[in-house]
Amino acid sequence: MTVASGALPRLPRRVSIREVGPRDGLQNEAIILATDDKLRLINALAATGLTWIEVGSFVHPQRVPQMADTAMVCARLPRRSGITYSVIAPNVTGARRALEAGIDSVEVFLSASESHNQRNLNMDIAQSLRTVTAMAALLREAGHPFQATLSVAFGCPFEGAVPLERVLELCGHLLDLGIAQLTLADTAGMAHPRLIQQLGWAFHERFPRHRLRLHLHNAHGAGLANVLAALQIGVTAFDSSIGGIGGCPIAPGAPGNLCTEDLVHMLHAMDIDTGIDLHALIDCTRMLEHLLGREVPGQTIKAGVCTHLTG
């Protein structure tokens, strides 16, 4: 069947990408990179045209030993103009440490299911809401920008489908805190294109003044398909991880973030601008493979760049 070009969905002309590999990627690795190696990777990523890099998390080192040196990473970052360096924090103590580190932006978070929230944060959702409210007050008082992420918004590995109305209700609570942007996370890689569009449209109808960011995983191979579904409804901000490393460490069988270079390759092929130098990004992936001592899950580093893509 032939479809006229005018019938194709209109797509955004530009997309914003937040690189989460130095945090969400490395926290799921068995190997713990030295601080110097993390800084090498972050600095290389900063030279690709990325404008937002998540560099670590202020969580207890016994829970996530891979992030134990986040304060040192923050202290030694050679800041580049035009780049936001951010961290995540699970509680008020973490938020205070982030402020002390002088990081640009802090991400607060909780889960859309009780089971995942208990396993991830050791508290129920009601307790998490009180915690993020206290964190928001601290960050607002300091005049510091902060974001929020709602995990397992598209499905929980322990409870299955998460009711759409619960997701929207929690979104409302987070938006009421005055966050700069809300991210919905497919933490276990359970989303599919139709669900992406259903939840995305419902969010837009409920909160028309707020722009949405998506944090997608590739556990079931639907990552890029979900990006396309989101683009078709006007979403223009995404998280991704260099090499496709990472995943959800507490969700069985849920490895693999959306791969940054695969995402950029697809977007550039569709004439959607990212501001990112794809070839420089692939050089970063090669560096990452050397640091980890293994191949990464991403496909573009294996297949190469299509010859018509220069960005």
Q: Which residues are catalytic?
A: 248
* Residue 82, number of CB atoms within 10 A of its CB: 11
3-state SS class at 28 = helix
* Residue 162, number of CB atoms within 10 A of its CB: 21
- Fill in the DSSP letter of residue 134: H
Q: Which two tokens stand for residue 190?
A: 């359970």
Strand partners, 14: 273
DSSP for 260-300, please give it. HHHHHHHHHHTT-B-S--HHHHHHHHHHHHHHHTS--S-SH
Helix (H) or strand (E) holding 107: strand 105-111
Contact yes or no for 258/238 (Cβ under 8 A): yes
Helix (H) or strand (E) holding 193: helix 193-206
Q: Is 55 left (phi over 0), alpha (psi -120 to 50) or beta?
A: alpha
Cα 306 from chain centre? 26
* Residue 275, number of CB atoms within 10 A of its CB: 15
Angle at 155 between CA 247 and CA 170, to 5 degrees: 105
